[in-house]
Amino acid sequence: MIVDSDFVPARWLRHRHAQTIYASLPWAYRRWPKVRRQELRLPDGDSTAVDWLVAGDELPGTAPLLVILHGLEGSGQSAYARMLMESAYEFGWRSCVLHFRDCGDYRNRLPRRYHAGETNDLRYFLETLHKSPEAEENAGPVLAAGFSLGGNILLKYLGESGDATPLRAAAAVCVPLNLHECADALNQGFSRFYQRYLLKRMKRALTGKFDRYTAAFDWDKAMSASTFAEFDDWVTAPLHGFKDMQDYYDKCSSVKFLDGIARPTLILNALDDPFMTPDVIPAEHQLPEHVTLEVSAAGGHVGFIDGGTPWKPTFYLPGRILSYLQPNAAMPGL
């Protein structure tokens, strides 16, 4: 099902680039909830980090748990993750941010990072929630929300898992459903600004983990990459077992996994998102009965500022995500 979004941009912030950039500025959301860090040791010997909202520790283990997946080069410190954690707590929910490998301030152990199709880490983490010694602390319904690249991973995981997922419901925001289309879009016009900024961060992360003698890819090509397509062809693909960028995008674009989703799932994308084009929006016949695609004319990329003032904006996403997930959190167990 495809529905129109109720989102209306703030009168003082209507342009798609203004929405995208302003939402990421440090003063746009100034609250920094306290979190505790858990190291998650993975089956292949690697590790990553999970940040849990400390305030949620006072809630019972039967309270709903919201698992948040961040975007490209994001972390639990990203504003959209912080505001969603605090909003979830106001609903009486516990929450955590599962970091992708080598993200935030945590360095993983193996010579690899993360990519848009890495669903095994999410799958393993969800399994541990009910199989670990702390299982009683995670006895409530589990839900998930993913942003951008994290949304792609979440949708791909749901499509792969079908009924075999412990998640009750999910929401995915500003999802690069077709990685080919998104790589092209980010190489056009002002969107190249975001591409340059993110590539700079990605290269900096590489230099903190590899050098030309330890890299399992062509170091000189990696450092010279000027587009996402080049970076993914020269770094992401060889580092994670894909033949090339085309193979990576073909196998990891979440639009190909939508028909396998068997849990209530909201996808919320904006037509003016500068990280993609409207061509990524699937046709209604491509959506299974459990998926609702909400399409907004505005919002930019993980912006969706709907009011307030430039000094204290208000945000549409936390309330929309939680209002969608809430009925499924309250339902009897699966």
Catalytic residue ranges: 148, 273, 301
Q: How far apart are CA 45 and CA 265, in angstroms?
A: 32
**Closest CA relative to residue 19, chosen from 7, 30, 36, 31:** 7
Residues 6 or more apart in contact with residue 284 via CB below 8 angstroms? 1, 2, 293
312-315 and 35-41: which strand pairing? Answer: unpaired
* Helix spans in the chain (H): 16-24, 79-90, 120-129, 149-161, 179-185, 191-207, 219-224, 228-231, 237-239, 245-252, 317-330
Residues 6 or more apart in contact with residue 309 via CB below 8 angstroms? 12
**Cβ pair 84, 45 in contact under 8 A:** no
Residues 6 or more apart in contact with residue 194 via CB below 8 angstroms? 20, 186, 274, 275, 301
Backbone angles phi, psi at 69, to 5 degrees: -115, 125
Q: How far apart are CA 2 and CA 282, in angstroms?
A: 9
Q: How far apart are CA 238 and CA 111, in angstroms?
A: 11
